[in-house]
Amino acid sequence: MNIGVIGLGIIGSRMAGHWIRAGHSVTGWNRTRPSAASSGLSIARSPREVADRSEMIMIVVADPSALDRVVTGADGVAAGPLAGKVVMNASTVGPSDNLRVDKAVRKAGGSFLEVPFTGSKAAAEAGKLTFFSGGEEDLVRRCEPILLQVGQKVVHFGPVGKGADAKLIFNLMVANLMEAMAEGFAFARKAGLDPARFLEAYRLNAGYSVLADMKTPKILSGDFSPHFSLKHMDKDVRLALERAAELHLDLPLTRRLKELFSEAMARGWGEEDFAVLYRQVAEKSGL
């Protein structure tokens, strides 16, 4: 199949690599850094050219404004005819962003699916992402075999918008858990507990999670090279709060968390992994 990938960052470049290895003809586009792409990838000059050359187009860009730029921009995916083509968006955005894109894609004659996902750099590398789909169910089933070449599971939530809601909720929980771990590990260090012994016991504690597997090595080593950047998680917490406000839902812990994320962003740590929240607690505590 001819597959297009728009956005060749941490996740998009790895998706492209899996599809190339699975024998598809893959065309990619990236705003900058096209050389970061996997070998075997054909590079297009615009998102529109990606769409022209592909039957299925996957978008994995930073945020809502990047999504609008690659879909409804002058050289965007929806600038040309999309009849017979499927456009999927895996970027984390709000439900209203995906509904806007759905409308633009349909207007151009194509079909749209939202497929936000969970799983970070390592899961993308291993082809083990989990997708939360929103869209027509028969379209989801049609796209599932392709998604399962980069992922392990597709969980369908309903019409466009529902997958985005699920993703924002999951990230809100993960972000709060990250701050809790940051505070706990700083507390343990301040109290003089042996870090290795603390981690060994934590693994047996009810609060231990897959996130702890992923982020405790970063906390302990101080290496915050990004698997999932602070700037993206900051965006996700903002989107979750905006969506909660639409639903007249008060999230007091997440409101405070957003302030902590904004502080870390103001320190210039946006490109680092969001586990850098630990450094923020540690520095404030004189560690």
Which is nearer to ligand NAP, 66 or 88 (by Cβ)? 66
Which of 132, 178, 161 lies closest to 243 in space, CA to CA? 161
Q: How far apart are CA 124 and CA 38, in angstroms?
A: 14
Phi, psi of 92 (to 5 degrees): -80, 115
Which is nearer to ligand NAP, 62 or 87 (by Cβ)? 62
Nearest distance in Å: CB 247, ligand NAP: 21
CA distances from 263 to 118, 190, 196, 271, 284 (A): 25, 22, 29, 14, 12
Nearest distance in Å: CB 117, ligand NAP: 6
Nearest distance in Å: CB 215, ligand NAP: 11
Which is nearer to ligand NAP, 186 or 233 (by Cβ)? 233
Which is nearer to ligand NAP, 124 or 186 (by Cβ)? 124
Which is nearer to ligand NAP, 104 or 186 (by Cβ)? 104
The 3-state DSSP class for residue 5 equals strand
Nearest distance in Å: CB 208, ligand NAP: 20
Return residues touching ligand NAP (CB under 6 A): 7-12, 30-33, 60-62, 65-66, 69-70, 91-92, 117, 120-121, 227-229, 232, 236
Nearest distance in Å: CB 77, ligand NAP: 12
The token pair that represents 183 in the structure block: 């505070």
Q: Residue number with the shortest CB distance to ligand NAP?
A: 9
Q: How far apart are CA 13 and CA 9, in angstroms?
A: 6
Which residues, other chains included, contact 154 with Cβ-Cβ below 8 Å and sequence gap of 6+?
115, 130, 131, 133, 140, 144, 147, 148
Nearest distance in Å: CB 171, ligand NAP: 7
The bridge status of strand 42-43 relative to strand 25-29 is parallel
Which is nearer to ligand NAP, 98 or 229 (by Cβ)? 229
Which is nearer to ligand NAP, 205 or 225 (by Cβ)? 225
Cα–Cα–Cα angle for 125, 168, 17, nearest 5°?
20
Amino acid occupying residue 22? A
CB 41 within 8 A of CB 15: no
Nearest distance in Å: CB 15, ligand NAP: 9
Q: How far is CA 260 from the centre of its chain?
A: 20
